[in-house]
Amino acid sequence: MIINNVACIGVGTIGHSWATLFAVKGCNVSIYDVNIEVSQNSLKNIKASAAFLAEMGLIERKVAETAPDKIRITEDLSECVAKADYIQESTFESYDVKQKVFLEIDRINSDAIIASSTSGLLMSKIQKNAAKPERCIVAHPWNPPLLLRLVELVPGETTSQQTIRKTYEFMKDLGKIPVIVKREIPGFIGNRLQAALWREALSIIENGIATVEDVDRVICAGPGARWAIMGPFLTFHLGGGPGGIEYLIDNIQQSMSEWYNSMDDWKSIPYHAARKAIEEVKQLPKTKEKTFKELTEWRDKKLVKVLRIQEDSNHEDGPVAQHG
């Protein structure tokens, strides 16, 4: 490990999952959350997540048992970051909140890398007033960071090459698959793609073309099953038969123009579409039958199976290897 001492600022959904990963990989992890109840609860969540990894055979039982000893919870931000070499910020998705946290860290620790979990904010804006902006970078995980290996590294205008390199190496040490985004853009890569798909999903609901349940079914039974092992480009290459992607583009582009021309191009989510989606999601059999906790446990067990299949299809870079 090129980094041993990590601080996690904000330990909600994403932060506590990061903290578990850092701890099971052997790092000393200090935790701070502005909400004391959340930080106190995080230890229970971290123990449960580590036990889950052991139950799934992803880590040794002994590692799960000792991981909580690596965690130190503090109610003082200064104490949390003072000795850290790497700081993972996972607070609210707001420039205001993140800029203030970065400035507070500046006053106490001047050497550590500060990485933000932001889903799509620009590092150039977050690091704008920082004393040492060169040490600030986006390290955007996918939920749950404990299982999904992708991390998008997005430097801001003043992030140094050294910060990019060291963060990349640390992520590799953790078993992650880091992808460096070449040019900073809101939403980075994964969330831009996700947002494009979700706009059309909402439009389909709003226009009465299908239900929420059927849109989810279409994704899981169709494209989603393929996306677990290959991205959209390789998928289309195979869709073209022996003529590959060239044949496919030649043959589908006219038809696809008609699809594009009939699509909504909303720039924000219309209120009515959002309400409709929320109401229908609440009525899904799974959300009615299971509590939120049961649903996340169900998702994580299924995800481990998917990750194992991915590992089989690409042995060296297999996602389960994050814990191997």
Per CB under 6 A, residues contacting ligand NAD are 9-10, 12-15, 32-35, 38, 90-93, 97, 101, 117-119, 140-141, 143
Long-range CB contacts for residues 258-265, cutoff 8 Å, separation at least 24: 263/200, 263/203, 264/199, 264/200, 264/203, 264/206, 264/207, 265/199
Q: Which is nearer to ligand NAD, 11 or 67 (CB)?
A: 11
Decide whether 15 or 319 has the Cβ nearer to ligand NAD: 15
CB-wise, 54 or 147, nearer to ligand NAD? Answer: 147
Compare residues 92 and 227 and give the one whose CB is closer to ligand NAD: 92
Place of tokens 């004391």: 36
Spatial distance between the Cα atoms of 65 and 2, rounded to a whole number of angstroms: 23
Residue listed under structure tokens 């999903």: 201
In the complex with ligand NAD, which residue's Cβ is closer, 18 or 54? 18
Contacts of 155 (CB under 8 A, 6+ apart): 123, 137, 138, 163, 164, 180, 181, 184
The CB-of-21 to ligand NAD minimum distance in angstroms stands at 13
Contact 123, 138 (CB under 8 A): yes
CB of 13 to ligand NAD, least distance (A): 4
Grouping H, G, I as helix, E, B as strand and the rest as coil, residue 157 is coil
Shortest distance in whole angstroms from residue 244 CB to ligand NAD:
34
CA distance 294 to 188: 31
Rank residues 34 and 63 by Cβ distance to ligand NAD and give the closer one.
Answer: 34
- Taking the C-alpha atoms of residue 4 and residue 273, their distance in angstroms, rounded to an integer, is 46
